[in-house]
Amino acid sequence: MMNGIAMMTRLLTITLLMASFMASHAEDVPPDFSDPESRSRYYDMIEEIRCLVCQNQNLADSNAELAQDLRNVIREKIEAGQTDKEIVQFLTDRYGDFVLYRPPLRDNTLVLWAGPFVILLLALFLLIRTISKRNAANADARPLTEETRKRIEAILRDDDGGENS
């Protein structure tokens, strides 16, 4: 029994030690901006920059070390009075346009930007063509003659009576 408790204590100690090690290792300086504008710029920017280690997360969401480093770089640059444009330029000069969640319009991103609109136009074109074709087919149809209409009504009435009886 004593052994069990001693073991548990030891395990707990090890776990806590490891936790404290990990906490100290993940050295992420919490941003402490004096003015609210820098603060909102910081938070807007880390939403817009991709973490390259875990590519479907932005810097705000990612726990990767590189994301922490880049957050610190952004914070330092905002504090140093750099504009958003300068900071984005700094990052794209090193990591390429891929760090941006909104890719800029360039030659190689033209398909990306224009593609959906091209497909939309194509779909509209096909839709209009189908509708006008259908209308043309309907225009060909002649209205029922009085005689045919009466025959149809008679058949329907007959059928109806048959079912009810």
Partner 1 sequence: MVRYLVPLGIFGLLIVAFLFGLQHDPRKIPSVLIDKPVPAFSLAELSEPDVMITEQGLPSRPFLLNVWASWCTACLQEHPLLVSLSEQTGITIYGLNYKDEREAALQWLERYGNPYEKSLFDHEGKTGIELGVYGVPETFIIDGNGIIRHKHIGPISGDSLRDTIMPILKQLKAEST
The residues in 29-58 that bind partner 1, with binding defined as CB under 8 A, are 52-53, 55
The one among 44, 61, 69, 86 contacting partner 1 by CB under 8 A = 69
Tell me how far, at minimum, the Cβ of 24 lies from partner 1, in Å. 13
Tell me how far, at minimum, the Cβ of 135 lies from partner 1, in Å. 20
The one among 46, 49, 59, 70 contacting partner 1 by CB under 8 A = 70
Q: Facing residues of 49 across strands?
A: 100
Tell me how far, at minimum, the Cβ of 94 lies from partner 1, in Å. 4
Helix or strand run (H / E) with residue 119: helix 110-140
Q: Does 92 bind partner 1 (CB under 8 A)?
A: yes
Q: Does 100 bind partner 1 (CB under 8 A)?
A: no
Spatial distance between the Cα atoms of 146 and 48, rounded to a whole number of angstroms = 70
Q: Is 58 helix (H, G, I), strand (E, B) or coil?
A: strand
The residues in 142-161 that bind partner 1, with binding defined as CB under 8 A, are none
The one among 32, 35, 37, 93 contacting partner 1 by CB under 8 A = 93
Spatial distance between the Cα atoms of 43 and 30, rounded to a whole number of angstroms = 12
Which region, judged by CB under 8 A, interacts with partner 1, from 39-47, 65-73, 80-88, 113-121? 65-73
Spatial distance between the Cα atoms of 84 and 40, rounded to a whole number of angstroms = 12
Helix or strand run (H / E) with residue 16: helix 2-25
- Residue 51: CB partners within 8 Å, gap ≥ 6? 57, 58, 59, 61, 62, 64, 66, 67, 70
Tell me how far, at minimum, the Cβ of 13 lies from partner 1, in Å. 24
Binding site for partner 1 (CB under 8 A): 52-53, 55, 65-66, 69-70, 73, 92-96, 98
